[in-house]
Chains A and B, each alone.
Chain A
């Protein structure tokens, strides 16, 4: 069945270093891949997304890359700051019959930025 795997489950980096989180998906028809940040006790919030017709997208310190052939995509955070500490979730659209679709989420990565 449809599946999104996310690694690592936890990640600790020194402030100012980069962080990379990787996800793989199983449905080759998936064409939209959002990333969400969830701070403790708060709702998941969209931070960046990428569609299958591009290989990379950047927004200030965050970027996402997509490799459709290998069916994996990654989140890159540069110059990490303590406020980047949160749980990050990747997701992929799973297309179903009759034009319907749903989102499947990865299991999350707990990022800790050490001051």
Chain B
């Protein structure tokens, strides 16, 4: 079971810098999700892909956030001009495409903006 892998595990950056995170889903899963989690809260939906198509982006996501999944396999999440409020755990999850398929989460990337 290779699972969902995310890189890096931790990222510390200064305010105003750009950061990029990577997620490699389970290989046979064609759906990929990005969530953000802050302390004491549940995962908050950011965006998701079916294969390479980005099907929805949360209204909470500012224009500084962009995600790609160019070949329908791995995905990247980029945050431009980071702000202190972006500090959080960024979780990636994948699933099969039919409704009622459970999400399998990666270990997350913890972002700290100083």
A-B contact pairs, 8 of them (CB 8 A): A31-B99, A42-B107, A43-B91, A43-B105, A95-B99, A102-B45, A103-B33, A105-B45
Q: State how many angstroms separate the Cβ of B15 from the closest Cβ of chain A.
A: 25
Q: At the interface, yes or no: A104 with Cβ under 8 Å from chain B?
A: yes
State which size class the interface on A falls in: 20 to 34
Q: Determine the chain A residues whose CB is within 8 A of the CB of B45 once the complex forms.
A: 102-105
Which residues on B are within 8 Å of A, measured CB to CB? 33, 35, 40-45, 48, 50, 55-56, 91, 99-100, 102-108
Of chain A, the residue at the smallest CB distance from B35 is: A105
Contact pick for B43, options A42, A44, A95, A96, CB 8 Å: A44
Contacts of A101 in B (CB 8 A): 99
* Interface mask (A41-55 → B, CB under 8 Å = 1, otherwise 0): 011111001010000
User: What 1/0 mask marks residues of chain A from 73 to 115 whose CB sits below 8 Å from any chain B CB?
Assistant: 0000000000000000101010110001111111110000000
Q: Which of B40, B91, B103, B108 contacts A34 (CB 8 A)?
A: B103
Give every chain B residue within 8 A of A95 (Cβ-Cβ): 99
Residues of B contacting A89 in the complex (Cβ-Cβ under 8 angstroms): 42-43
Closest to B41 in A: A107
A24 adjacent to chain B (CB < 8 Å): no
Distance to closest chain A CB from B9 (angstroms): 10
Residues of B contacting A44 with CB < 8 Å?
A: 43, 91, 105
Given A44-B105, A105-B43, 14 new contacts (CB under 8 A):
A32-B100, A42-B107, A43-B105, A46-B102, A89-B42, A93-B100, A102-B33, A102-B45, A102-B48, A103-B103, A106-B42, A107-B40, A107-B41, A108-B42
Q: Which residues of A contact B55 (CB under 8 A)?
A: 100
Q: Which of B42, B56, B99 has the most CB of A within 10 A?
A: B42
- Asked if residues A100 and B56 are in contact (CB atoms below 8 Å), the reply is yes
User: Given that A107-B41, A107-B42 are contacting pairs, would A100 and B103 also be in contact in the complex, using a CB cutoff of 8 Å?
Assistant: no
> What is the CB-to-nearest-CB distance from A46 to chain B, in angstroms, rounded to a whole number?
5
